[in-house]
Amino acid sequence: MESLYAITTGILTACGLFLTLRGRSFPVVVGLTLLSYAVNLFLFSMGGLTTNGAAILDGGGSYADPLPQALVLTAIVIGFAMTAFAVILAMRARGDMGNDHVDGRQVDETREERR
Amino acid sequence: MTLLWIPLLTLLGVLAPMCLERYGRNLCSLGTATPPAIALLLALNQVPALMAGEVPRIAISWIPQLGLDLAFRLDGLSLLFLTLILGIGLLIILYARYYLAPEEPFGRFNAYLMLFMLSMVGIVMADNLLLLWVFWEMTSLSSFLLIGFWSSQSDARKGARMALTVTGAGGLALLAGFLLIGDMVGSFNVGVVLDSADVILADPRYPIMLVLVLIGAFAKSAQFPFQFWLPHAMAAPTPVSAYLHSATMVKAGIFLLARLHPAIGDSAMWGWLVTLTGMTTFLYGGWFALLKTDLKGILAFSTVSHLGLITALLGIGSPMAILAALFHILNHATFKAALFMCSGIIDHEAGTRELAKLGGLRRAMPITALLMSLAAAAMAGVPLLNGFLSKEMFFKETLDAGLLGGLGWLLPLLATLGGVLSVAYSLRLVHSVFFKPAKTAPPKHPHEPPRLMRVPVEFLVMICVAVGLFPAVLATGLLNLATEAVLGRHLEFHLAIWHGVNAPLIMSLVALGCGVALYGVHPSIRRFVRQFATTDARMIFENSIQRLVARSQSLTERLENGSLQRYMSLLLGAALLLATLGLLELPQLAGGMPEGELDGVLILGAALLIFGALGTVVTHRYRLVSLLMLSVVGLVVSLTFARFSAPDLALTQLSVEVVTMILLMLALFFLPQKTPRESSAHRTIRDIALASALGMVVASLNYAVLTREIDSISRFFIDNSVPGGGGHNVVNVILVDFRGFDTLGEITVLAIAGLAIFKLLNRLRLFMPHSDAEGRVWSPDRYPMILTSVSQWLLPLALLVSVFIFLRGHNQPGGGFIAGLVTAVALILIYMARGVEWTQSRLDFPYQLVAIGGVAVATLTGLGSWLFGRPFLTSAFGHFKLPLIGEFELATAMLFDLGVYLAVVGATLMILANLGKVTTPHRPTKDAQPATSKEKS
């Protein structure tokens, strides 16, 4: 189970990173989102993988580690804010620079590219 | 306290000229000169105490953690230098009054000068090595301002830069040396350091420390191989050269050697390094002084040479050598300052200081001629002048040095040679300016300078003569105190002109005779030397500086080329390197824990995640498809959280997923629908390699952690959640109670992100396509009937659900974050179904206020606990009974959670509603004109 989880996290990370290395803004944003899923999964697993042990106290039994959960919960929300900021920045960049390249060039895109 | 007044008064002198400039030069000079004059009197007033064997000190704690105190001392050595710094400083102020042209900023010049004086006073009085270093660097900075005073001249700028670079870099070496001393001794106090010679000398780091300190001192005092900056600093106005490069700044290095001599000077290494450097510089300076053709150039190199002489004496280090060094410091300062001032007068009155254009000036300026001849004679070591006395002592010490073993005779020989050079260039200086007939007329008609401009020179030359005639009477007192400070004991000595016919006298006579002869043949020497290619130190320096700048520039441009791709690949490469190094340290990847059982659901989930992630990448050119693939990942991630006992996370992820997808779809409307294929195969392979390598590292790390025993602090939270926080849902209690401060920070970030986006969308010019990527126009049906009616009755239901989720959050999965997201989703649905205008007219409040209000509620809840004398964000709770509902619990944490709720709703809607607002009113449809250009401004 643990190895499968780790492999999945690794693949998500790799896919996210590959997209953040692209040259246009939208794939970068998608990559960031994918990467934040991977990071959240990774952080979440730092408390171990527990089945049927939600940290809702009911008098007994063992519970999953609540601390990484609390951290990841806020991370999800902040991750959303970051994605939103990045994508709006991408829109703004396109509006101001005339294209959606991520290297800051200021060339208007062709009509073909606009679609 | 009196001690503190000496630096304080000079500090006051920095301000005085700035305030007095408008009242004319005389008052300005007077105002500038008054504080240092009083400071000089205060210093001299301490003489009786010094005579009694005391060392007045004062110490104020400044940064005790670093061992830095504002500590000053006034011993004999400080007094000797103070007399020079303040005394010659006063003469310079008077001289500069007449030297500077009327249009030059007089007040600023004096302020710089006083700033420099302050730094020098600080160096010689500091009783703490770190404080000394601070003043040391201040001299570098203030001398930069002074050398570059004529900043319109390229020479001045370059000279100033070179002086700053060399002395500043030396200063850094010095700091390193001081830190080593402090580490050896355990204190930076000068008194303690001077008493710890045995500790320092025994320390294995002594050689490193000595070299560092010597680099600092040699760079400052223009000793070989750092001598090259001094001649270029001659681009400064002459009063500056007279002050900095004869009496003060270049003597700071010498002062330091004398100051630290008791602590670090008693070793063979010191003797070799310092003596040989000094002798080399002595000869080097003398040789080049003979070849220079510019008055100040000759003086600069002669200064280099004389500084070498003093350094050599300090290197020899015997008590009499120290005495000779101190005596020569005094003598050199007087005759060299006088010579510089004379050269300034000549430059000022004749319009040039090129020897080739000068000559026969004795008729035009007879008094200056007399003064300069006397000063030059003192420099050459002519009997009955002060320079003769100390130079003869120098000769004697080289005879008795006991260095170099069997080659011991070399030192006196080299010393005599230096003496010969000294006589030759002194003679040349005077003869070619005043006595040799002029070949051409100087640019200006030369005449005597204003009466008062000559006074400082007259005063200094008078001292040269008087000390030369009556050394025992005039110099013994001051030197007694100074040698006592350096040696730590009283030294019996008698200064006299006549010691009988002995070796030093013969050396002096040889130097005089051969010097005159050398001057006679020097034109042919100069012709001989001219065949060699000259290397200009400045060219080398400037070239290397420019190379350095160009290198840094190209490096910066390579690293920071404006492309995110470059930054990301560098960042990821670095992360890969570090993480790999960390992994290499693990003995083995798997820990001891057994793996959990796999079941079908897990495998299916993992397969879906992997499928979704790879699908996102593979389809990334078709952005909409890629986005759909991404949402698969998001949904399965949320299921993963649910599976592994994190219901709160699952709920949050689910609602965030919805909001994110809506946002990205909306944004995609304004961005191209497809990504063109443009990465080269090379780049694609590189990126795949980098990403997969990092993926593997992350997977390995994750596996390594998961298979190891986890030692968590969570036990505390689980144990205290109910008794301390009054909640059964530990995750929520952590968020709103235990780690409430973190949460407060996070909702603040959320609100700020919302505000930033609001600002980014302001006046955004966007291109809006009228059809999708395939050329299909958008649906004319803007607000589908079913969506409209469903959303309408869904809203109250969703609000009810979010209230439910909010209220149960403390004990069951739920809470402010999730409730806020659910509310936001419901409202966004209305926006989508009805359009922005319709919704906006009914929901007429700015979401910015909601978000900010949420942060405010949370903060105020936290502050509320202050009213009860508890720390920020302490929570309280109690149980209450209401009819119908029954017993329930109220906690201040719930109020805090309300703040979270509001912040999340506000920020999310601020982002989405504002983005939606950009689109709707002008959205092109089939009926509208096809939009071809950017619209909406």
> How does pLDDT run across B515-571, given as a tens digit for each residue?
899 888 888 888 888 877 767 777 888 888 889 999 999 998 888 888 888 899 999
Q: CA-to-CA distance for A19 and B448, rounded, in angstroms?
A: 81
Nearest CB among B602, B613, B739 relative to A34 is that of B613
Rg (CA), chain B: 41
Is there a domain that residue A59 lies in?
Answer: no
For residue B442, is pLDDT > 80?
A: no
Closest CA to B732 of A22, A2, A92, A67: A67
pLDDT at res. B922: 54
Contacts of B655 in chain A (CB under 8 A): none
Contact: B735, A80; criterion CB under 8 Å: no
- Quick one: what percent of chain B has pLDDT higher than 90? 40
More confidently predicted of B753 and B875: B753
Contact: B710, A91; criterion CB under 8 Å: no
Portion 41-80 of A in contact with B at CB < 8 A: 41-42, 44-58, 63-67, 69-70, 72-74, 76-80
> In angstroms, what separates the C-alpha of A7 from chain B's closest C-alpha?
5
Interface test with B, best of A22, A42, A50 (most B CBs within 10 A): A22
Report the domain count for chain A. Answer: 1
> In angstroms, what separates the C-alpha of A60 from chain B's closest C-alpha?
11
Domain boundary among B539, B568, B593: B539
Q: CA-to-CA distance for A26 and A41, rounded, in angstroms?
A: 23
For residue B70, give both structure tokens: 């504002």
More confidently predicted of B47 and B783: B47
Contact: B616, A109; criterion CB under 8 Å: no
Is there a domain that residue A35 lies in?
Answer: yes
> How does pLDDT run across B66-119, given as a tens digit for each residue?
888 899 999 999 999 999 999 999 999 999 988 888 888 888 999 999 999 999
Overall average pLDDT of the B640-656 stretch: 91
Domain boundary among B520, B539, B558: B539
3-state secondary structure B139-180: HHHHHHHHHCCCCCCHHHHHHHHHHHHHHHHHHHHHHHHHHH
Structural domain harbouring A88: 2-49+64-101
Structural domain harbouring B388: 267-539
The reported pTM is 0.67
Which neighbouring-strand residues pair with B880? B888
Residue A97 in contact with partner chain B when CB distance is under 8 A: no
Give the list of residues 6+ apart from residue B635 with CB closer than 8 angstroms, or none: B654, B657
pLDDT at res. B362: 84
Nearest CB among A66, A103, A104 relative to B717 is that of A66
Is there a domain that residue A109 lies in?
Answer: no
For residue B929, is pLDDT > 50?
A: no
DSSP string, B721-743: IIIII--SBHHHHIIIIITHHHH
Report the domain count for chain B. Answer: 2
Portion 614-643 of B in contact with A at CB < 8 A: 614, 616-617, 620, 623, 626-627, 630, 633-634, 637, 640-641, 643
> How does pLDDT run across B217-263, given as a tens digit for each residue?
999 999 988 888 888 888 889 999 999 888 788 899 999 999 999 99
Q: Of B44-48, B418-422, B440-444, where does mean pLDDT reach its minimum?
A: B440-444
Contact: A74, B742; criterion CB under 8 Å: yes
Contacts of A108 in chain B (CB under 8 A): none
Closest-CA residue of chain A to B673: A115
Is there a domain that residue A108 lies in?
Answer: no
Give the list of residues 6+ apart from residue B31 with CB closer than 8 angstroms, or none: B16, B17, B19, B20
Contact: B911, A109; criterion CB under 8 Å: no
Low-confidence ranges of chain A (pLDDT < 50): none
Q: CA-to-CA distance for B250 and B342, rounded, in angstroms?
A: 20
- DSSP character for B766? B
pLDDT band at B932 (very low <50, low <70, confident <90, very high): very low
Nearest CB among A8, A26, A58 relative to B675 is that of A26
Contacts of B610 in chain A (CB under 8 A): 8, 11
Name the CA dihedral angle for B468, B469, B472, B473, rounded to a multiple of 10 degrees: -110
Residue B176 in contact with partner chain A when CB distance is under 8 A: no
Domain of residue A39, CATH code: 1.10.287.3510
For residue B933, is pLDDT > 50?
A: no
Overall average pLDDT of the B20-35 stretch: 88
For residue B892, give both structure tokens: 């201040």
Q: Give the other-Cβ count within 10 Å of B608's Cβ.
A: 18
Name the CA dihedral angle for B924, B927, B929, B935, rounded to a multiple of 10 degrees: -20
Overall average pLDDT of the B820-846 stretch: 85
Contact: A87, B687; criterion CB under 8 Å: no
Contacts of B647 in chain A (CB under 8 A): 54, 56
Closest-CA residue of chain A to B749: A78
Contact: B652, A76; criterion CB under 8 Å: yes
Give the list of residues 6+ apart from residue A52 with CB closer than 8 angstroms, or none: B645
Contact: B626, A63; criterion CB under 8 Å: no
Contact: A27, B626; criterion CB under 8 Å: yes
Contact of A86 with A50, CB cutoff 8 Å: no
pLDDT at res. B928: 43
For residue B747, is pLDDT > 50?
A: yes
What sign for the dihedral angle of Cα B399, B401, B406, B410? negative
B836, HSE (Cβ side, Cα atoms, 13 Å): 14
Nearest CB among A23, A70, A84 relative to B565 is that of A23
> In angstroms, what separates the C-alpha of B96 from chain A's closest C-alpha?
55
Q: CA-to-CA distance for B470 and B491, rounded, in angstroms?
A: 20
> How does pLDDT run across B38-56, given as a tens digit for each residue?
999 999 998 888 888 888 8
Contact: B649, A72; criterion CB under 8 Å: yes
Contact of B47 with B79, CB cutoff 8 Å: yes
Interface test with B, best of A49, A76, A112 (most B CBs within 10 A): A76
Q: CA-to-CA distance for B615 and A39, rounded, in angstroms?
A: 19
Domain boundary among B539, B573, B594: B539
Q: Give the other-Cβ count within 10 Å of B361's Cβ.
A: 23
Contact: A73, B735; criterion CB under 8 Å: yes
Contact: A51, B609; criterion CB under 8 Å: no
For residue B930, is pLDDT > 60?
A: no
Contact: B596, A2; criterion CB under 8 Å: yes
Q: Of B572-586, B608-622, B678-692, B885-899, where does mean pLDDT reach its minimum?
A: B885-899
pLDDT at res. B920: 53
Q: What is the mean pLDDT of chain B?
A: 87
pLDDT at res. B677: 83
pLDDT at res. B937: 37
pLDDT at res. B617: 93
Q: CA-to-CA distance for B154 and B173, rounded, in angstroms?
A: 29
Is there a domain that residue A110 lies in?
Answer: no
pLDDT at res. B438: 79
B905, HSE (Cβ side, Cα atoms, 13 Å): 26
ipTM: 0.94
pLDDT at res. A19: 94
Q: CA-to-CA distance for B219 and B242, rounded, in angstroms?
A: 19
How distant is the alpha carbon of residue A21 from its chain centre?
14
Contact: A11, B572; criterion CB under 8 Å: no
Q: CA-to-CA distance for B7 and B115, rounded, in angstroms?
A: 10
pLDDT band at B740 (very low <50, low <70, confident <90, very high): confident
- Quick one: what percent of chain B has pLDDT higher than 70? 96
More confidently predicted of A55 and B467: B467
Residue pairs between chains A and B whose CB atoms are closer than 8 Å: 324
Find tokens 């001219």 and name the residue.
B530
User: Cis bond leading into B225, ω under 30°?
Assistant: yes
Closest-CA residue of chain B to A114: B672
Closest CA to B39 of B67, B16, B62: B16
Contact of B754 with B847, CB cutoff 8 Å: yes
Q: CA-to-CA distance for A62 and A48, rounded, in angstroms?
A: 12
Interface test with B, best of A21, A78, A108 (most B CBs within 10 A): A21
Contacts of A5 in chain B (CB under 8 A): 606, 702, 706
B502, HSE (Cβ side, Cα atoms, 13 Å): 11
More confidently predicted of B123 and B497: B123
> In angstroms, what separates the C-alpha of B786 from chain A's closest C-alpha?
29
Find tokens 């004999």 and name the residue.
B76
Nearest CB among A42, A69, A102 relative to B563 is that of A102
CA distances B481 to B62, B254, B324, B488, B860, Å, are 30, 17, 14, 10, 69
Is there a domain that residue A111 lies in?
Answer: no
For residue B362, give both structure tokens: 């004795």
CA distances B416 to B45, B69, B404, B507, Å, are 41, 45, 17, 6
pLDDT at res. B879: 64
> In angstroms, what separates the C-alpha of A43 from chain B's closest C-alpha?
9
Nearest CB among A21, A29, A91 relative to B691 is that of A21
Contacts of A13 in chain B (CB under 8 A): 691, 694-695, 698-699
Phi-psi group of B569: left, alpha or beta (phi > 0 → left; psi -120 to 50 → alpha; rest → beta): alpha
Nearest CB among B595, B645, B760 relative to A53 is that of B645
Closest CA to B257 of B217, B225, B223: B217
Q: CA-to-CA distance for A103 and B95, rounded, in angstroms?
A: 60
Interface test with A, best of B561, B571, B583, B617 (most A CBs within 10 A): B617
Is there a domain that residue B786 lies in?
Answer: yes
Contact: B671, A25; criterion CB under 8 Å: yes
Q: CA-to-CA distance for B383 and B467, rounded, in angstroms?
A: 11
Strands B877-882 and B57-63: unpaired
Q: Of A79-93, B490-504, B815-829, where does mean pLDDT reach its minimum?
A: B490-504
For residue B836, is pLDDT > 70?
A: yes
Contact of A24 with B619, CB cutoff 8 Å: no
Cα first-last separation, chain B: 69
Closest CA to B249 of B154, B159, B181, B147: B147
Is there a domain that residue B705 lies in?
Answer: no
User: Which amino acid is residue B1, in one-letter code?
Assistant: M
> In angstroms, what separates the C-alpha of A25 from chain B's closest C-alpha?
9
Portion 561-580 of B in contact with A at CB < 8 A: 561-566, 568-569, 572
Contacts of B821 in chain A (CB under 8 A): 77
For residue B129, is pLDDT > 80?
A: yes
Contact of B371 with B454, CB cutoff 8 Å: yes
CA distances A108 to A94, A95, A96, B678, B698, Å, are 9, 10, 10, 17, 39
Host H or E run for residue B485: helix B471-487
pLDDT at res. A111: 65
Q: Of B348-352, B573-577, B630-634, B644-648, where does mean pLDDT reach its minimum?
A: B348-352
DSSP string, B281-324: HHHHHHHHHHH--BHHHHHHHHHHHHHHHHHHHHHH--HHHHHH
Contact of B372 with B298, CB cutoff 8 Å: no
